[in-house]
Amino acid sequence: MHKWFGPLHVLRGVSLEVQKGDVLVILGPSGSGKSTLLRCINLLVRPDKGDVFLEGVRVTAPEVRPEWVREQVGMVFQQFNLFSHLTALENVTLGLRKVRGMDDETADEKGKALLQRVGLARKMDAYPAEVSGGQQQRVAIARALAMDPKAVLFDEPTSALDPEYIKEVLDVMTGLAREGMTMIVVTHEIGFARNVAKRVLFIDEGVVLEEGTADEVLLSPKHERTKAFMGKILT
């Protein structure tokens, strides 16, 4: 996959594959193209060269509606991006009601179950500004899960959080992984990568520098740049 932003060559031929039920963690310094890569997968950003396949379907084909792809590949953002004018429950059910055309009652029922699952049943009537960052991010995870996605993309889901809230979000993500959700996670949380990731990818300057199991990439990196990066974030 290739992507240019003007003269800037952000993705310089990245290839990756994720099997159903696997967790792939993507590491890399900031500006390395990780976020762009995630956005290319659900077509929030259209790759300039290269294709995305979802269960064998080439979703980058011009006749495929990007909305159809995004329904099936959920996304969780660094800044949560909850809809400020909607309550937690309304945030979760918006897609069900407007994209799926579900009636309010069924949508609410499903929304409540999802909020329960991320441990926020009590907060369903709260607005985003009324809950903590960790709770906002858990609502955002529930919102992504509401569409019954085949995979969920996480774009640095804990980077904007105060340290005290990181664990509650990682716990929810770990639970999801254990239940067999397919996940692609951009993160600097090494502990999470080691516990949960089936494979780890190290990206720098728009190319994959290293790929392997968590221990291979984290503990015995082969590439100089990977070594330097690990040295910085592990100490």
Partner 1 sequence: MAGLTPERSAGPRQEPGGNADGWARVWRVLDHPVTARVLIVVYVVAGIYLALGLGRLVGLIDPDLWILLSRLLSEGAGNTFLFSVTIIPIGTGIGFLLGWGRVSRHPLVSWPAAVYVDIVRGLPPLLLILFAYFWLPFILQMRGAFNAGLVFAVLALGIHSGAYQTEIFRAGFNSVARGQVEAAEAIGLTKRQAMRHVILPQTFRVTLPALGNEFANVIKDSSLLAAVGAADLVFWARNVQQFAFQELGWVFVIWIIIALLYFVITYVITQVVSILEQAYRVPGLGSVSF
Q: Using CB under 8 A as the criterion, which residues of the chain lie in contact with partner 1 when the complex forms?
A: 42, 44, 66-68, 70-71, 74-75, 77, 79-85, 94-95, 98-99, 127-130, 133, 136, 140, 143-144, 146-147
Strands (E) across 8-72 are located at 8-12, 23-27, 53-54, 57-58
Query: Least distance (Å) from partner 1 to the CB of residue 76?
Result: 9
Query: Least distance (Å) from partner 1 to the CB of residue 12?
Result: 24
Residue type, 32: S
d(Cα 123, Cα 139) in Å, to the nearest integer?
9
Query: Least distance (Å) from partner 1 to the CB of residue 201?
Result: 21
DSSP state for residue 6 in the 8-state scheme: T
| For partner 1, the closer CB: 80 or 229 | 80
| For partner 1, the closer CB: 91 or 226 | 91
| For partner 1, the closer CB: 140 or 166 | 140
Which of 89, 100, 1, 90 is CA-nearest to residue 42?
A: 1
d(Cα 31, Cα 28) in Å, to the nearest integer?
8
Query: Least distance (Å) from partner 1 to the CB of residue 67?
Result: 5
| For partner 1, the closer CB: 85 or 232 | 85
DSSP state for residue 81 in the 8-state scheme: -
Could you please report the per-residue DSSP string of 113-163?
HHHHHTT-GGGTT--GGGS-HHHHHHHHHHHHHTT--SEEEEESTTTTS-H
Query: Least distance (Å) from partner 1 to the CB of residue 25?
Result: 20
| For partner 1, the closer CB: 12 or 39 | 39
Assign 3-state DSSP to the chain and report helix, strand, coil percentages, each to 5: 40, 20, 40
